[in-house]
Each structure stands twice: as C-alpha cells, then as structure tokens.
Structure 1
Amino acid sequence: MKIGVQATTLDSLRSGAGGLRLPLAALMAAFPTCVWSQGAAGPAAAGPEEVVVTASRVRTGFEAPTPVTTVGIDDIQARGSTNVADYLNEVPSFLASTTPATTALNSRENGSNVLDLRGLGAERTLLLINGRRHVATAPDNTVNINVVPSIALGRVEVVTGGASASWGSDAIAGVVNLIPDQELTGFRLEVQGGTSEHGDADSLRLGGVYGHDLGDGRGHALLALEYSRDRGVLNQSDREWGRRRYGLIGNPGDTGPNDGRPARLIAENTNLFFANEGGLILGGPLTGVTFGPGGAIRTNDFGGFNDGNFQVGGTGGNLGQYIDLVVPGRRYNAFFTGHFDINQGLTAFAEASYGNSRSETETVQSFTFPTRITSDNAFISPELRARLASSNVAAFNLFRLNTDIGFITADSQTETYRGVIGFRGRLSPAWRWDAYYQHGRTDYRNRQLNNLIVANFRNAADAVINPATGQPVCRATLTGGAPGCQPINLFGFGSPSRAAIDYVNGVGAYDLALTQDVAAATLTGELFDLGAGKVATAVGIEYRSEKVRSESDALSRADAFLIVNAKPINGSFDVKEAFAEVVAPLLANKPGIDRLELSGAVRATDYTTSGSVTTWKFGGSWSPVADVRFRGTISRDIRAPNLGELFAFSRLSFANVSNPVTGRTDFTRVLTGGNLDLQPEESDGKNFGVVVEPRWISGLRLSADYFDIQIDGAINSLGAQDIVRSCAAGVSSACATITRDAGGTITQVNAQFINVARLTTKGVDVEALYRVPEDAFLSLGGLLTLRALVTHVAEKEFSPNGVVVFDRAGEITPNAEPQFVSPKWRGTLTANYDYGQLSGFLQTRFVGSARYDNTFTTEDINDNTVQAEWYVNVGARWRVPSSTGARVEVFLGMNNVFDNDPPPAPLNFISPLGTNPAFYDVVGRSFYAGARVGVQ
C-alpha cells in the first residue's frame, strides 16, 4: 500500500473511468522508481495501457500535489480482508464509525459498512466506482460498501483532501475510488473462512472472477461473483469484558463543586436502578417489590449504591448484555465491466452491477417505564392483593424490561442495481474525450420485528376479571373498545402468554427507493509547451438527478411503536455542473528547481434545490532536487444537502421554551424534519507536505502531509431551546427559524435541519516505506517491505450551533457525536516478507491513549484516561507449485494475536455498550484460512 506519496499509481491496470489517463509504458519509462510492489494487480509488461488517477482528471507527466492512498489487491489479500472496508478502516485517516461492530453508535442500516475519511461524517466522503459516482444506499447519500464485490477490484485510490472541484459535492474529506481489475485474463476462484477463539464470528466468503479478451485484443470483459456471510457476535455478555457491565453512574459521595470528589464514576456491574426483567414497583409503600418466575414476590436488591437511574450490583436489569457486538449479515454481489474498440479512434465501454446485502439483529428488548397497574388487575396474586389492601394502594407503577416478549429485531435488506454505458475516443494524438450515461437504483427494506405497540400494550396491561366468565380480559374490551385485545400478565419473567405477546407486538415496515441518473462528458488534452512540458487541461459537463421515495406502515406514521417509527421521505433534485482543470509545468532541470508545477481546478454547480455554487482548487509541487518534493493545495469544497436533509418527514409538536427576550416561558409550536431552504456546506481545505526519496538509500520513501479542513454552515438539527439560545448568542441562521408575535412571544420554532454547525480538523499524516534490498536482509535473500502509517489529529472541533465548541481531538467517548471523536495518535505498522513460494505478513495497529471526555476534570469523573492499545495481526501465504500453469495459493492468519480486551468506555444510553468499537477490537483473537486458484 502506498499512502500520501504519489498521485500516479503504476501497480495498477487500465480503467475505463473518466479521469487522468496516461500511457503506462511512457510512465514507466519516466518514473521507474515509482513502482514499489507488484501483486496480483501488477502492470502488464508492455502495451499502450492507461491509468486512471483519482487525484486529477488532467493528463500530466508530473505527480499531483494532492496526497493519494493506493491499495492494491495484493495488499487486501495479504491482510486476509474479506471486504475492502475492513482494510481501509485500519488506515489511520479513516474512522470506522459505521460498521457491523458499531451499530450502537449510529442509526444507519444495521450491519452496513460505510467509509468515513477524517471522521467528519460518512456523508462528507465521496465514493466512486471507476471514477463515477455510485448510487446511494441511504437518504444521507452514503454508500454501503457491502453492495460492492471486493473480488472484482484491482486497486483502491483515496484522495485525502478536498476534491469537490474535480469530482463534485460530498468530497469535503476526500474521495474513495474503487477501481476494477479490467485486464485480468483467465479466472480466479477464492474461498475463505474464519472464526473467533470464542467459537463465534464465523465467516465464509466465496468468490470468482473471470476475464477474457475480445476480438483479437480489441476489447476485454470481466465478470465477478461474490458471496459472503458473517454470523457475528450476538451478545456483549459472550465476552468476559462484556460481562463486567461497564457503565457511567453518578457518584453518591459527590457533595458539589470543588469537593475533590468526582461527580460520576466509570464502574463495573452497572445496571438499571428503575427496572428489571420481572417487573419492579417504584413509588409508594410497595417500593422495592419485584417478581420472580411465576409472579413470586421478592424484595429487590438495589445494589451497593445508585444515582436514581443506575445502580452498582443488585438485581437491576441491563440492556447491554444482549447487544450484538458484531451484527450478522450476508451479501451477494455481481459485477461486469467491459470495453471494445470499434475502431482506432472510438471505444465503447459498459458496466453493470448488482448487490444484495442483508442483516438481522436483535436491537433491544422492549421496555415500559412505567406501566400503571390498578389494584383490580386480573393477574395480581393474593399475597400482593393483600399488601395493596393493607397499604390502601389503589394503583402502582411497574417498571419492566420485557425480555420475555421478544427482542425488537431489525431485519434490513439493501438491493442495488447500477448500469453504465459510454464511449471514449481520440480527436487527435493530444486530445481525448469520453461520455457516458449511468443509471442506479437502491431498494432498501427494513422490518422492525416484535416492536411494541404502545397503545396495545397499555390496553393489555390493564387487565381485569370478566364478571361474566371469571377469566382475565382487557378492561377496554368490556367497554366495547380495543377489539382483539389479549390481557397480558407482567408479573415475573416468562409470565406473558403467547396470545398476549402477539397482540402487543407488531412489525414496523419501511421501504425506500433511491434512484440516480447521470450523464457526463469530458475532454482532455494538451494546449502548448512552456519549455518544461506541455500545459494540460480537462473540461467537462455533468448532469445528475437524485430521487427518493419511501413508504412506511400506518402505525409508524402515527408514532404507535415504542421505537423507530420510520416516516416517509419523498423528493428529488437535479444538478448541472461544468468543470475545468489545468496543469502547468513551469520549470524543470534548473538550479534549485528540479521540477516546478502548478495546477488548478474550478467547478460551477447549479442545484434545483439550493441554487448555484462554485468550488475551486489551486495547488503546486516543487522539487528543489530529485530527492525531495514539496507539495500543497488549497481548496473550496462543498457538500450539498442530501435527500434526507431536504425531504425528511415534517411533524408538528409542542414544547415549553424559555424566552430570553421576554424572560417568560412560551408554549411553542415546534416543526421538525427536512428543510428545502438548506444551502450547501462550505469547506476551506489546506494540504501541505513533503516527500523524501533519497537516492543514496535505495527503496526508502518518506512523506509528511499537514491537513486543515474547516467546514462552516454545516447542516445540523437542534432542539427548540438550543435554537433559541443560539439566536440569543447571535447566530443569524438560528434566528431565521424563530417566529415571534408583536409582543416578542415565540409562537413557532422550525427545529429542522439548518446550516448552523461548524467542524474543524487539523493534523498530520506520516508515511515511511522501506523496501529492503534482497542482499541486505541478513543475507537470507527474499524481499522485506516495511511500512509505517501514522495520523496525528492535533485539532478536531465540533460546534453543533456555531457558538458552543467541543474539542473532540484526543477523546473516545461514544456519548456525543461519536463520528467526530478521535484519539490524537493512530498508526499502522506492517512488514511483508516474500521468500520463494512463501510470504509472511505482520501488522501492528496502534490506537493512542486518550481521554474519555475532554470536558471532564477530576471533579467530573473518577478516571478520565483511556490506555493506548496495540493490536498484532499475522498471516502467511504459500504458493503451491503447479505443473499445469495454474496459480494455487493457500493462506491463513490470526487477528488480535494477544487477545486484547478493549478499554472501558461505556456508552451512556442506559449503559448498553462497554467500549467504543470504532477504535477497539470487540471480537478478540480470531483466525482465518482459505485458498485461491487462478488460471490464465
């Protein structure tokens, strides 16, 4: 893997994408030292092949100033990754904020894999397939990588910097371009399986890819098929560290500010104070009565201490013990790409893909906090009835975790279809063009099984004895209401009947369709020669249409379920774009200037929803000598509001809002949902770096790049009171959402998405790569390659309202904006050793020490430090000698060799998750093995 070092990637194969296309043979002649490794995706020995470079659309013989990460198929295979997202999420510049292991931290589709550069939110990372946008798989315009077959890829390129001028909206953090292997001839079959030391996380991957030349070399076609499934880790309590039930609880010993005692504690065996799985009475003379199986009356154990919400020890319930550490899922993928030379100046190309990803996970057991039970309830035992009578209690509140009536289970399926057809050709030896049309569609289906219907539960819980039959019946049934109501017994775990469970539970349904149509054309060529090389340019136009349409069931639309209650989203927008890029090699082979080049790009964009906006980029690179190159860019980037932010279902509610103008509290209408008045986010990005490749140390290459991204007017949704406070602090966009009458009374607050937030991140990416000469490695021979990738996040600030600023650099708490937090230091160190038919792989991944919460002091928490973690992964491959010409390879590996437990970092939502899986491994030691067979 090559990171942040070069824009032109020579261990890759020809792609039909629009982008920088260069004759490979010419590049190899010009830059022979740039070829570091050749795996399965290595270049052909000869031929006028082309390379697509994601950093630029312009044809140039110089390296672009923007840092680029390139991952070859051989890198992914050496690591044993079954999904390209698994590999990329170990690169320090990525944050694994949305993976099958982070379901508790996000509200996206369960089990999805979404890429998030810089931890600025996945919606600010643009995903391309072969240089073209992929249809979104969610209304926030993100793409679930599970719908892309990894086996079809030749390489992946990542531009770690603003690229909106080159590629359009959403590229604030950068671009990820998945590029298929379009030169493969013959076939390759792969099978891989894995499991954890604990006997779970079983995985299986089967894949095949076939490539064939067409028409005596005039064309090529590739077809890839892939199946993958992972059984996940189904309970946090399946891990010893999970059974410790880490939680955040108030300290009863805290007496106030500056008393030297922390206000809260991270503690083990933290459970709910106010509920358990058999039912708990709180309030009144029967407080502390709880119920065992069969309704037996017991005295609740409230543990060592409590803060009114949580307790340490005791018999309180715990939602977290059942949470999925890794969501199980399966996926099917198919991908086709091909091209054919109609004549010397015209080539037709096409792509088609299908992806089907499905996951099913038990989200949470339903809960009732509280349920009112009257003294005439049909299921009250004689003993309890006597206690109620002696205490003169007519009703009480029962607090219960309804584990025994079934878990609310999310069943999600994503189907994605995508097709591309286009032509490219030459107008002259110096000028090329390409044009294409693309259509994509995503069908997303979600079912919330066993979701509690609140009204049905309320009617079922109010059960009395039918005087006509002597049997339990719903009170509402006696008065002619609640048809079909089945009385439910809530006293003791296992007491509810099957009929009652079926009545109180329902299925929430949500079906969504996203469609995308794109038409684009690009012209690239050379203008004139400045002496150091020809000025190259690219111009193009693009039209894109995005649509969303969704439906949900009537109960969800009426907010009848306990959780989720998905609402319809319907809307569309069109965008028209025109862009231009230019690269100007100014000087070469001069004293103090081995090479000097400037580049620029501009894009004019017009949205039907938010109007026109212009993005731009200016950069350059300077090599005073051949060993050293300085590079840098500044850019204005955008992210246009996505379909969800524009068209989310609007709903009306009411709230009491403190009015700072009048000093009164106003009972105010509150409108929430999408906002058609949203404007694109604007980002100012800076990247400056240096690349050192000393000629006197063969095989060594070093780079360091500073990044600075500042986003203003970021789209966010605030609560009504927060909006009023922000307006009082001078935030004009917040004031615009408030309606007042003549007397200053707040009559309405539009708590919709608004351009109010601010995001900033600054830091440095460092890479060191050393390919040890074969005669220098202990005289053993073979090839040893060492790489170190390190990211230091010096600053990461998030302001939800543009006024209050939170510094998230160096903290890992999952409790607030989990996609924005980050340790200050993260790194990956790898060593690959090839000796004959054997290859060995060693990787250590470093997550630096951090704070639980940067806002906490010793007065706030007992331990605000989180220890550093080192994870070690190993692998080996053996290429089996074959007399048939087939390439046979067997491989195996081990992840988390030392079985590191994640550090305590509890998510403070009724204490469900004990750590932050975006940074730390929650599976433990695991193993994989497999085989590959290739025939040309």
Structure 2
Amino acid sequence: MSNRFTKASLLAGTVMAGAMVSQPVYAQDDAGASEDDFIVVTGSRIARRVNVETAAPIAVVDSEEFELSGTVNVENVINTLPQVVPGFTSNSNNPGTGTATLNLRGLGATRTMVLVNGRRWMFYDTGQIVDLNTIPSFLLDSVDVVTGGASAVYGSDALSGVVNFRLKSVQGVELGAQYSITERGDGDRYGMHGAIGTEFDDGRGSVTVYAEYYNRSSVFQSDRGFSREALGDGATSLIPLGSSTTPDGRFNVATNFTVANGTGPGTTLPAGAGLLIDNGLFLTPGVLSNGTGLSYNYAPANYLQIPQERYLLGGFADYEFQDGHTFYTEVSFVNNRVAQELAATPVTGSFNFNLATIQPFLSAAAFQELVTYDQRETAANAARIANGLTPLYSGAAAAALQPGVINAFFQRRVTETGSRNTLDERNAFRVLGGVRGEITDWLNYDAYYMYARTRNANVQAGNISRSAFQRGLDGSGPAINVFGPNTLTPAMVEQISILAQNGDISTLEVANASVSGFLGNLGWGGGDIGFAIGAEYRKQGSEFIPDTALSSGDVIGFNAGQATAGAYNAKEVFAELNIPILGPDSGIERLELTGAARYSDYSLDAVGGVWTYAGGIEFAPIPDITLRGQYQRAIRAPNVATLFGGQSIGFPPAQDPCGTAGVTPTSAIGQFCISNGVPAGAVGSGLALQLGNSQIPALFGGNPNLSEETSDSWTVGVVLEPSFIPGLTVTADWFDIVIDDAISALGGGLQNALNVCFQQVQDANAGICSPFFPNGAGSTVRNGSGSITVDNPPLISNANIAELGVAGLDVQMNYSTTIPFSLLTDTGEQDFNVSFLGTYTHDSYFIPIVGLPDVNECEGRFGLTCGEPTPKWKWTSRFTFIDGPLTTSVRWRHVSGVDDDDDATDFIVERLPAADYLDLTFSFEANEHLTLSMGVSNIFDKAPPVIGSNQEQANTYPGTYDVIGRDFFASARVKF
C-alpha cells in the first residue's frame, strides 16, 4: 500500500508564453534596439545583447495576455499557465489564507522566488511567501519565468524557479476601469486604476506614480448546485454528508472502562456498552435518540469566491544626478481586506456534565439514562481502584468520578451563533533606493537598499470559548441548554461566544551591491566576455501574535495557535561569467558558456555557510537551431514558520488506517491499533473512529534545528526558428528538479505519518510513531472510543526528511502571419497570431521519509496524498486576429484527466476527466487614446468535476477547475 501525504501542505516552472527573446528588466521601447544595445535578462546580472538567448529557458508572458484575459488580479493568469500548480486563489476559503500564491511545478510556494523589477518583493507571513495581490497587474510590461534553481544568482528560495514581474514606466496619463460579473448575476468585480508619468530636467529624470482600487464580491457554495451539499462517499454513490441543518447534540462515552468480574483485574467493555447514550442524538430538544441520525450540512455557509477590497498606491523614479550616474527609487503601499466564512462552530470534545445542572433540559427518560451511566461509571471506577488499577479519568475529567457527574464525548454545531467569519486586513509597504552608473566604458555598478514590511490584523467572529462552554455544563457557571436544535438562548450564546484576534508582522531588508561589465574576447568572433561580482546582506523576520484565547487553546472554531517570532540574516558574495566562444565569423552561429556561484553565510547554526552554483551552454550550429542546457545547485534556508513556529492545531483531511474497511482485529495492523487504544470492535469500522468526521486534529509547530534544503536541476532544450517559415518559433525544454533534505511535517503530514506508522513500521517506539505513542509503548493519544480528538491531538513536527522531484517537457509554439481578409483595413489583410504553451509532466513524486521504500507518484493524479491535481498534460493556447483597430482573441485552456492517488481505497469518483475551457475577447481601439474591451470566460459554462471524500473543498478542486461558471467582463482604458 502506498504512503500518503498532503502535498499541498508543503506549500509545495517555466511559463512558456510570449516570444523567447530576452527582455529588459526595466520597461523600454525595444522597437528600435540595435545589436549594440545591452539589457539585463532575468536569471542573470550580466548585461547582454538584445539578440542573445540564455542557457536557461526564459519565458515571457506579455502584458497583452493580462489585458485579453480580462483579469485584474495577477493570479488569474498565472494559475492557468501550464507550469503552475495553483496555490491559494480567490476560491480558496477552507483551506485558504485570503492571499494568492504562486506554486511553480507543484513544489510549493515557499520554493518559488518572486521578484518585481528584478528584486525581491515583500512577503506576508511567517512562511515568507509573496501575496500576488500586492502586484499591480495594470502596470505589468511582462512576466519572465526561469525554471530550475537560481540561488546562485538570487539567493535562497529559488528551488523551482524565479518569476520576475516587470513594471512599465508611463509617459503621460493612463486611466482604466473594468467590471466583471458571472452569468448568474453574482460575484461581481470592479476595479479602477490611474497612472501618470513624465520626464523632467531635460530628460535627466523620470517619474511614474499610480493608484488602484479593486473590489470583489462574494459567492457562496449555496449559490452553485454542485457545492450546495457537502458530499462524501457512500456504498455505491456520492451521498450528502449533511441532509439537514439540524444542530445535532451527539453523546459518546469518552473512554473504555473496566468492571470487576471477581477473577482478575477486570473485563474491558466497549465504550458505553448497553447504553443508548452511545452515539445518541438530540434531534428533538431534550429527547435522546439512538442511532447515528443526521449530519450537519456545512457547505452552504462557505465562500466559493472570497470577497476582497484593495487599495494600491506606488511609484518609481530615477534621476541622472551626474553624467552616467543615476539615482532610482521604488515605493509601494497596499491595503488588502479579505474575508473568509465557514459554517457554524462545531463544538467537539470530552466534557464533564453535572446531572443536576442539565436535568431541566432533558426528558425524564434521557435523564434516567444518564443517571444509569453515572452509576455504571462510578461502579467501574471503584472496581478499578479495588483491583489496583488507575482511575478512569485524570486531570480536568477527574471531576466525573464524583457522584452525579459524568464525562462524555459531545459534539454539536452551535448554529445559534451564526457562521464563523474571519477578516484579514493586510497593510504592506516597500521602499527601495539605489544608484547605478558607469565606472568606465566597460564597467558598471549598481547598489541598492530595500525595506519591506507587512502587518496583518485578523479578527475572528463566531468562536466558542471551551472553558465557558464547560462551565455551562458542569454547574460552575450559568447553565446552557445544548440538548437539541435552537435551544441556546441569546443570553447563552453571549455567555459562550468569544471574539478572537491575532496579528502578523513580516519584514525584509536587502542591501545589494554589484559590479558588472565586459572583458576582452577570445578572438573567435564570439564577442566580449561578460562578468558580474557582488555582495548582499539580507535579513528577514516574522512574528505571529495571537491573543490570549488563541494562544491558550480556549477557542473552538478557528484554529488556536501559540505565538511565533524569529529572524535571521545572510551575508553573501556572488559572481557570474558569460563566455562567448564562437560567433558567425567562425562558421558556427554561436557557442557560449555561462557560470555562476554564490557563497552564503547564514546566522542559523544549522545552516551556516553554503555554496550554490550553476553552469550552462548554448550551441547554435546555424541561425535556425539553438541547443541549450544548464545545471543548477540551489538551496532554501528554513523560514521563520518552520523554525520558530509556535504549536497550533490543524484539521487536515485524513482517514485513520485503524478504521479502514477490511482491517480485522486479528491482523497485524489490527493488533497494533489495539495496542494504541482502539477497541477491538472498532477496528476496521470505516470512519467510525473519527465519529463521522473526515478530518483528524493534529498539532503542528516549528523546529529550530532545521537545516537547508538543496536542489539539483537540469534543463536541456532546443529553439527552432526556421528561416523557411517566417514568423514561427518552436521551443522544447526538458526539465528535471530534485529537492533533497526537504522540510516537511513528520512523515510528510498527518495522513502519511498514520500510514507509515500503522501500516508499515508498527513499532510504538519508532520516531514516526511518536505522535501517536507520545511516551512509547503503552501510551496513546486516543480516547476510549479509539478516536483522535482535539483533547489530545498528535504532534506532527517539522524535519529535513523528505525528497521531492519533478520532471517533464515544456513545449511552446508561436506563429505570426497575415491572412488575406479584412473588414476594417484598406490593405485587405489582417494579422494572425497563434501560440501554444504546454507542459507534459513525466514525473512528480514525493518520498516522505528518505530511506523507506515508498514513493508517492503524483503525475496524473490527485487526492489526499498528492493534493491539487497534477495533470500529465496542461496547456494554454491563444488564437488572435488583429484587423486594424479590432482584436479578436480565443483562448483554449486544457487540463488532462487525473486519477485518485490512493490505490488501496475505491472512491466513488476515481478519475476526474479532462477539462477544456474556451474564452473569447474583443478589443477595439476607438482612437489613439481610447481602447474598449469585452469578453467572456468559460463560454460553454463547463462545471467542475464533483467528488466526495477525496476532495479539497466545495466538492472539487476550485484552484484547478472553474467553479464560478460563465463570466463576462468589460473594460476601458484611456491614454493621453
């Protein structure tokens, strides 16, 4: 049986879009560029000639792609590109953070470096991840993507690749507005932006300032048929997990207990044996019913599209204060308000019930059953003490040993409080100042300092105080009536409700200085040798500040967590070399070698000093063909969250191997489960061990002894520009990335730790089993029913124990020509452009514990192990007709079919079919100042695939598949 892990929990390419020509870091008009002009390409600090390719594939997404797609947020274009496995998006409610993240190759957002204008951007939390919502899409000139590790050039984090968002300068005034709405009349979005730019002092200086406002309305899961009911797997079909909104009160006895039989220490009975309170429900106020009853339908209250409001301000300027020497600066500020909404809080766990306190809320029959249980519990405890055994309960639950008090597992949706809502307000700013210029006619310098800070304030409503809830049941506070639907009065709701708050502060400082230039050539027509050397100091720090309720764990609703704080720095030196060996004069079009190296000294003892390096080659035997390849060694230092994160509770989707159907009490796994506290009668009982929930609570936290991750990446490719087919460019690049010592939750996450411990290792003293046997053999985190609950969750810590890898082929085709037909021009012709951007994923895997034989293969798969679908083929193609002022463009997005990743479980939906979406856009240049656009996405209103227990959220994977439906937009842009 294969191991499982949630790949998405790791916060684990090349975007082959646009022409493969090098592009400048700073926007400029290249129409008149000559071969003697020099630019700096993403992935290098060495200036190169305009017509020079690079050894590593550099793809460019032009600004037109953002305009034609009708998007305002950057994520909406980036996540459709074939090299990207979607991270958090506008449809990520639970799980989600209210941000938009970038996940190249599915290796995690923490392993993707995001730059703006060639420099690091600000991150938003202790995971040190960039929120794409902070980048102004209307100012994008293009987006450059370099695949593979790039730490030798840019430093830590660039294991899967680098994405560089290049902002354009504005000359004059530019104003724009856009409005979008779904076919169903909901989820409207509107945005307005403005920018003004000018030159001054006879062209020695220039400045651009800009502002944007964006507002996105919510869509609830109740607004779409496929997501109105929370679905799970039945025996033969998908079934609603919640067939009513009844806030059940469910009793379960919290522990097994032993009664004396006169012949020994006693006989262990199943929890609640002979008692109707075992799995009893209060479907009618005060009346205890036997059976499983109805489940709560949590789906309707969840967002399908989360609301957002954003204000964005900024500017950049440069001034040549002396001939050949220029000061430059960049400033940006973003205010983002994003909400998430979940169903009413599920109160779950073991509580002490004072029978006298709760008697007024119970029928006579229900009260008598609880009295009978109390008598049995008291007798059982007395028998244990008489036989020299420990009492049934310890700690806070020990109060149940008093007559008239019982301890029972209870769960109920507190619908009287309404939905849970959390509001994040992030204020982020970034300032940068630098100077660049000429030292000699062959040597240049560039030095800058950057500081960025993000402050997030999070307010949570709808939480329940566990201690206040307990006081209402045990008589130490005013009594609360939780025994039936809508039994809590407003006064009771106020008594148990709690408003929670927390905050995040993240900072980043970078000081960088470099010198670059050219040396002599080798004399074989290859051009001058380029070089760059420099040094960098970088400091990054974050803290998470929860209030007392969250840090103490008293909150039920949103996840509680302890405070996190930490910072570290790196001091680095780096160098690059570009050696043109042969040129056209030699009879060979081009042969070039490149190399780069960086030494980094981290203040973290477990990391210390590390080297990263890269080498590449380009060989063009004729102008029509270029062969290229590169090797890169990269590293990623652990972030503040993985190093210093305080413990916090989470509820990842998981299934308990001890409850898997077919497992018997006499099997090896069954016996091991029994040794962990699972009653023999509960072994192999499906989800019964989790009391009907498909999530298992666990604690997660940091590890200050983590060391760096390392990656080795290879790219080998070809660029074809056949002279006999003018306008055609075809590229194909093979990529192979392997990450060693990958930082992962123990075992790769809760699911995989469960599987490895219980299905393979089966040793209570093994490290992988420590979360479930916290003190070795004889200990357990389970309650008496065999369940893992919030009362004693397992601790899944971080470790450098995993390996990740991905390999595949990027293919791009661009073709431009004219066709002999026109309605709007006098020439009788119009331009026709077609592009194809595709990725074939040959291999995508995860080894949760290096040294064990299990490998989780995720290419062409999805599910509880692999997370977001990783299709073997994903492509985006665009067909554009330009007839004078009118542009008509059709985009085709394709995601190939994927299979469930758990070979041991037969889910109702084992395969998600291929998905194809068509989008249509019209753009009309009314005059030289005004451009009008309109379009529709998902023309055929294709619904997402619907699945049950192996879903992410909303009965599907909303990051990969379109969940909003047919969508319309209209925009206007004015320039003067």
Quickly name the TM-score band, shorter chain normalised. Answer: 0.7 to 0.9
Q: How many Å separate the matches in 1 of 2:57 and 2:101?
A: 22
Offset of residue 503 of structure 1: 2.0
Helix, strand or coil at the partner of 2:476: helix
- For each residue in 1:454-488, what CA deviation from the matched residue of structure 2 results, as whole angstroms up to 9, or x when unmatched? 121122245xxxxxxxxxxxx113xxxxxxxx433
**1:537 is aligned with what amino acid?**
F
Q: How many Å separate the matches in 1 of 2:874 and 2:965?
A: 19
Match of 1:771 among 809, 816, 819: 816
The within-5 A match list for 1:119-130 is: 119-130=106-117
- For each residue in 1:722-768, what CA deviation from the matched residue of structure 2 results, as whole angstroms up to 9, or x when unmatched? 798999799xx979999x99x99999999532111110101111111
Cross-structure match for 1:889: 931
Tell whether 2:855 aligns with 1:805. yes
Cross-structure match for 1:324: 303
Offset of residue 161 of structure 1: 2.2
Q: How many Å separate the matches in 2 of 1:112 and 1:591?
A: 53
**1:824 is aligned with what amino acid?**
K
Offset of residue 866 of structure 1: 1.2
- Share of identical aligned residues, percent? 28
The within-5 A match list for 1:520-919 is: 520-530=512-522, 531=524, 532-562=526-556, 563-589=558-584, 593-609=588-604, 610-649=607-646, 673-718=701-746, 752-775=797-820, 781-802=829-850, 803=852, 804-813=854-863, 815-818=864-867, 821-853=869-901, 855-856=902-903, 860-881=906-927, 887-906=929-948, 908=950, 913-919=954-960
Change over 3 Å in CA distance of 1:775–1:582 after alignment to 2: farther
**1:458 is aligned with what amino acid?**
Q
- For each residue in 1:424-450, what CA deviation from the matched residue of structure 2 results, as whole angstroms up to 9, or x when unmatched? 000112111110111111111112222
Match of 1:163 among 137, 150, 157: 150
The within-5 A match list for 1:341-420 is: 341-369=320-348, 376=356, 378=358, 384-386=363-365, 388-389=367-368, 393=372, 399-420=411-432
Answer yes or no: is the 8 Å Cα contact 1:276–1:399 preserved in 2: no
Offset of residue 412 of structure 1: 1.0
Offset of residue 592 of structure 1: 7.0
Q: List gaps (5 residues or longer) in structure 1.
A: 16-21, 31-47, 252-264, 303-313, 463-474, 478-485
Tell whether 2:250 aligns with 1:238. no
**2:433 is aligned with what amino acid?**
I
Q: How many Å separate the matches in 1 of 2:370 and 2:93?
A: 46
Q: How many Å separate the matches in 1 of 2:758 and 2:317?
A: 57
Answer yes or no: is the 8 Å Cα contact 1:318–1:912 preserved in 2: no
Q: Which moved more, 1:918-927 or 1:769-778?
A: 769-778
Match of 2:180 among 180, 183, 194: 194
Answer yes or no: is the 8 Å Cα contact 1:7–1:55 preserved in 2: no
Offset of residue 780 of structure 1: 5.3
Cross-structure match for 1:429: 441
Helix, strand or coil at the partner of 2:124: coil
Offset of residue 453 of structure 1: 1.2
State the TM-score, normalizing by the size of structure 1.
Answer: 0.82
**1:808 is aligned with what amino acid?**
C
Answer yes or no: is the 8 Å Cα contact 2:40–2:46 preserved in 1: no
Change over 3 Å in CA distance of 1:427–1:288 after alignment to 2: closer
Match of 1:285 among 271, 276, 279: 276
Cross-structure match for 1:228: 214
Offset of residue 163 of structure 1: 1.0
Offset of residue 715 of structure 1: 0.4
Q: How many Å separate the matches in 1 of 2:699 and 2:353?
A: 35
Tell whether 2:26 aligns with 1:56. no
Match of 1:515 among 507, 512, 517: 507
Answer yes or no: is the 8 Å Cα contact 2:419–2:462 preserved in 1: yes
Q: List gaps (5 residues or longer) in structure 2.
A: 1-13, 253-271, 374-405, 651-657, 659-667, 678-697, 782-793
Cross-structure match for 2:789: none
Q: How many Å separate the matches in 2 of 1:69 and 1:155?
A: 10
Cross-structure match for 1:338: 317
Answer yes or no: is the 8 Å Cα contact 1:104–1:913 preserved in 2: no
Offset of residue 818 of structure 1: 2.3
Change over 3 Å in CA distance of 1:461–1:266 after alignment to 2: farther
Change over 3 Å in CA distance of 1:905–1:762 after alignment to 2: farther
**1:598 is aligned with what amino acid?**
L
Helix, strand or coil at the partner of 1:115: coil
Q: How many Å separate the matches in 1 of 2:113 and 2:25?
A: 22
Helix, strand or coil at the partner of 1:487: coil
Helix, strand or coil at the partner of 2:305: coil
Tell whether 2:98 aligns with 1:102. no
Helix, strand or coil at the partner of 1:325: strand
Tell whether 2:242 aligns with 1:271. yes
Answer yes or no: is the 8 Å Cα contact 1:726–1:734 preserved in 2: no
Q: How many Å separate the matches in 1 of 2:318 and 2:62?
A: 22
Helix, strand or coil at the partner of 2:861: coil
Q: How many Å separate the matches in 1 of 2:581 and 2:836?
A: 33
Cross-structure match for 1:929: 970
State the TM-score, normalizing by the size of structure 2.
Answer: 0.79
- For each residue in 1:45-103, what CA deviation from the matched residue of structure 2 results, as whole angstroms up to 9, or x when unmatched? xxx7x644112211223211111121222221111110122111111101212112123
Answer yes or no: is the 8 Å Cα contact 2:174–2:194 preserved in 1: yes
Change over 3 Å in CA distance of 1:290–1:926 after alignment to 2: same
**2:939 is aligned with what amino acid?**
V
Cross-structure match for 2:476: 476
Change over 3 Å in CA distance of 1:491–1:699 after alignment to 2: same
Q: How many Å separate the matches in 2 of 1:129 and 1:901?
A: 35
Higher relative contact order (CA 8 A, sep 6+): 2
Offset of residue 269 of structure 1: 2.3
Cross-structure match for 1:74: 64
Helix, strand or coil at the partner of 1:593: coil
- For each residue in 1:336-366, what CA deviation from the matched residue of structure 2 results, as whole angstroms up to 9, or x when unmatched? 1000111222100011110111111213321
Aligned length: 838
Change over 3 Å in CA distance of 1:650–1:398 after alignment to 2: closer
Answer yes or no: is the 8 Å Cα contact 2:580–2:593 preserved in 1: yes
Offset of residue 130 of structure 1: 0.9
Answer yes or no: is the 8 Å Cα contact 1:5–1:703 preserved in 2: no
Q: How many Å separate the matches in 2 of 1:178 and 1:209?
A: 18
Cα RMSD (Å):
3.8
